[in-house]
Amino acid sequence: MSDGLYDVAIIGGGPAGSTAATLLAQAGRRVVVLEREKFPRFHIGESLLPFSTTTFDRLGVRAEMDRTFMPKYGGEIVAGCGTREAKFYFKNGFRSERDRAYQVTRSEFDQLLLNNSRAKGAEVREETTVQKIMLQEDRIRLEMAMPDGAEATLEARYLLDCSGRQTVVGNFLQLKKSYEHLQKFSIFAHFENVDRPNGIDGTLIRMVRGLDRWFWMIPLTPTRMSVGVVMDTVSFRALKLSPEAALEKCVNEQPLVAERMTKAERVTPVYSAGDYSYRNVRLYGERWLLAGDAAGFIDPVFSSGVYLAVMSGEKAADTLDQVLRDPFHKRKLLRTYERGINSVMNLYVRFVSSWYSGKEFMEVFMNPTDILQIAPAVNALLAGNAGQSFAVRWRMWLFYFFVRAQRFIPFSPRLSLVPAKADEVAPEIAPIPA
Ligand SMILES: Cc1cc2nc3c(=O)[nH]c(=O)nc-3n(C[C@H](O)[C@H](O)[C@H](O)COP(=O)(O)OP(=O)(O)OC[C@H]3O[C@@H](n4cnc5c(N)ncnc54)[C@H](O)[C@@H]3O)c2cc1C
């Protein structure tokens, strides 16, 4: 099959790939998306951040998103011992301009974005798996397996790898480096009839943090909830249980989750994911660029994955459009892209590492203070405000300072994070100050 030369070929039609494809097509580029699955397909990563909204506006999907998905006004984090919980609302974030994000069923969200790419002029080929990459001086050549099993090739000036955790280019060029201290394992499924509060609080992501594991509860529709648990990979192996049995055991051991699931009915298979948190040592080459999870995957404890995918897909599209217009400045443009994406990923790696470093993160987080507006700055990062504003950055430094200091001097009350027996304690609620 001969297709002529594309400007950009994109591997993967998830949020990173479809965002980039739409923007490149809108810029008049000849772009093709190669997606190995037939959409809709199940995917995890359902809780979004408000700072993606400007990109959704650029893609022209905001109105449809508003019609289709649940709003998300913030989150709540509960100490696994049941003695403290903190709610945060995006409207109270530092210099907040957005009060909400979305909780999405990914099969529908990804399909909406990919259909939009098609409608805006990108060519989308589903059930097409990229099997081999050949890098040439002035183009890239891809070998693909087609829906009927036949093989085909395609050529493009540039390749954008948005293949998610498959990291097609990262594996091919051996660029992938794991974060050893973030090797986690997660188990999750969708349930109907999980209890939740009424009103705005019923839209919050709920996270329950135990000593050696944490849970998420994400409301996806008025009746459906995504429930998952994350633990060290070694802890999962030590359980010697199937994912189904391990999820059931973990839920039963945590009353703060179990009490909401007494009437729950599981409506999907139990899924699991390992291979957590890695980065590629380079995000660009002469003819290729990486975006989304294909660039790096940061443990999604703060729901940063789709935000990073959409943000890097957008920046990659803008960068490639500029490179095609102004090849003379290619190196500089690609370097700027890499630096920008790495600096945002660094912010989340630090935040996530702090969460896992011990109980101190929870002890400080559960005692939000209005001093110097540190709590609103943390809230801003939780909303995806990674714009490197110095005002947010220095407040985050102070937050990390308090977390470290808490190890030696208990400024905030200590927490055990060990589940209490039922009826033992009622949590003290600490809303994060505006
Ligand atoms: C347990 C868990 C919980 C998470 N929770 C959240 C959350 O609450 N909020 C959040 O924002 N993020 C979350 N994430 C992260 C989120 O899932 C990802 O960051 C996000 O999906 C990345 O989007 P992407 O477009 O880069 O990759 P993907 O969405 O994975 O898309 C990649 C696409 O590439 C295709 N592909 C792969 N290989 C090939 C190939 N060879 N040829 C053709 N196509 C190919 C795949 O089929 C896929 O459709 C979570 C992740 C995990 C593991």
DSSP 385: -
* Listed range (189-193, 324-328, 380-384) with the worst mean pLDDT: 380-384
Residues 6+ apart with CB under 8 A from 191: 224, 225, 226, 227, 261, 264, 265, 266, 267
Rounded CA-CA distance 382/362 in Å is 15
Q: Which atom of ligand 1 is nearest to the CA of 307?
A: 11
Pocket test for ligand 1, best of 18, 36, 114 (most atoms within 8 A of CB): 36
- Provide the pLDDT for residue 1: 44
Q: Which atom of ligand 1 is nearest to the CA of 144?
A: 42
Q: Which atom of ligand 1 is nearest to the CA of 218?
A: 8
pLDDT at residue 275 above 90? no
Pocket test for ligand 1, best of 293, 297, 381 (most atoms within 8 A of CB): 293
Residue 358 vs residues 213, 355, 378: alpha-carbon distances, Å:
12, 7, 18
Per residue in 149-159, pLDDT (tens digit) is: 899 999 999 99
Q: How far is the CA of 223 from the centre of ligand 1 (A)?
A: 24
Q: How far is the CA of 135 from the centre of ligand 1 (A)?
A: 25
Nearest to 284 by CA among 362, 336, 350: 336
* Burial classification of residue 136, based on how many CB atoms lie within 10 Å of its CB (0-12 exposed, 13-18 middle, 19 or more buried): exposed
- Is 14 a pocket residue for ligand 1 (Cβ < 6 Å)? yes
DSSP 28: T
Rounded CA-CA distance 39/50 in Å is 25
pLDDT at residue 226 above 50? yes
CATH top class, domain 184-273: alpha beta
pLDDT at residue 423 above 80? no
pLDDT at residue 347 above 80? yes
Q: In 288-416, which residue ranges form alpha helices assigned H by DSSP?
A: 305-325, 330-356, 360-365, 374-382, 390-406
- Provide the pLDDT for residue 256: 95
**Terminal C-alpha separation, the chain:** 59
Rounded CA-CA distance 256/82 in Å is 7
pLDDT at residue 433 above 50? no
Question: If one looks up domain 5-69+104-178+276-347 in CATH, what number appears?
Answer: 3.50.50.60
- Provide the pLDDT for residue 429: 54
- Provide the pLDDT for residue 372: 67
Q: Which atom of ligand 1 is nearest to the CA of 165?
A: 30
Are 126 and 35 contacting, i.e. CB atoms less than 8 angstroms apart?
yes
- Is 82 a pocket residue for ligand 1 (Cβ < 6 Å)? no
Per residue in 20-58, pLDDT (tens digit) is: 999 999 999 999 999 999 999 999 999 999 999 999 999
- Provide the pLDDT for residue 313: 98
| Mean pLDDT value across residues 390-399 | 84
- Provide the pLDDT for residue 427: 56
Rounded CA-CA distance 324/138 in Å is 12
Number of other residues whose CB lies within 10 A of the CB of residue 187 = 26
Q: How far is the CA of 423 from the centre of ligand 1 (A)?
A: 40
Residue 88 vs residues 101, 102, 149, 320: alpha-carbon distances, Å:
13, 15, 50, 37
Bin 320: left if φ > 0, else alpha if -120 < ψ < 50, else beta: alpha
Could you tell me the sign of the dihedral formed by the alpha carbons of 209, 100, 427, 415, in that order? positive
Q: Which atom of ligand 1 is nearest to the CA of 44?
A: 17
Q: Which atom of ligand 1 is nearest to the CA of 293?
A: 26
Domain ranges of the chain: 5-69+104-178+276-347, 184-273
* Listed range (103-117, 177-191, 195-209, 397-411) with the worst mean pLDDT: 397-411
DSSP H or E segment with residue 66: helix 62-68
Rounded CA-CA distance 29/22 in Å is 10
Could you tell me the sign of the dihedral formed by the alpha carbons of 231, 232, 233, 235, in that order? negative
- Is 163 a pocket residue for ligand 1 (Cβ < 6 Å)? yes
Residues 6+ apart with CB under 8 A from 380: 93, 94, 95, 96, 392
- Is 301 a pocket residue for ligand 1 (Cβ < 6 Å)? no
pLDDT at residue 218 above 50? yes
- Is 280 a pocket residue for ligand 1 (Cβ < 6 Å)? no
Confidence grade of residue 98 (pLDDT, cut at 50, 70, 90): confident
| Mean pLDDT value across residues 252-273 | 96
pLDDT at residue 432 above 90? no
- Is 272 a pocket residue for ligand 1 (Cβ < 6 Å)? no
Are 118 and 58 contacting, i.e. CB atoms less than 8 angstroms apart?
no
- Provide the pLDDT for residue 2: 46
- Is 299 a pocket residue for ligand 1 (Cβ < 6 Å)? no
**Hey, whose CA ends up nearest to atom 9 of ligand 1?**
303
Bin 192: left if φ > 0, else alpha if -120 < ψ < 50, else beta: beta
- Provide the pLDDT for residue 421: 66
Could you tell me the sign of the dihedral formed by the alpha carbons of 430, 96, 209, 412, in that order? negative
Q: How far is the CA of 215 from the centre of ligand 1 (A)?
A: 20
Pocket test for ligand 1, best of 18, 59, 306, 349 (most atoms within 8 A of CB): 306
Tallying the residues shown for the chain, one arrives at 434
Residue 133 vs residues 8, 142, 221, 383: alpha-carbon distances, Å:
14, 5, 40, 37
Per residue in 117-148, pLDDT (tens digit) is: 999 999 999 999 999 999 999 999 999 999 88
- Is 305 a pocket residue for ligand 1 (Cβ < 6 Å)? yes
- Is 35 a pocket residue for ligand 1 (Cβ < 6 Å)? yes
Question: 84 pairs with which residues across the strands?
Answer: 428
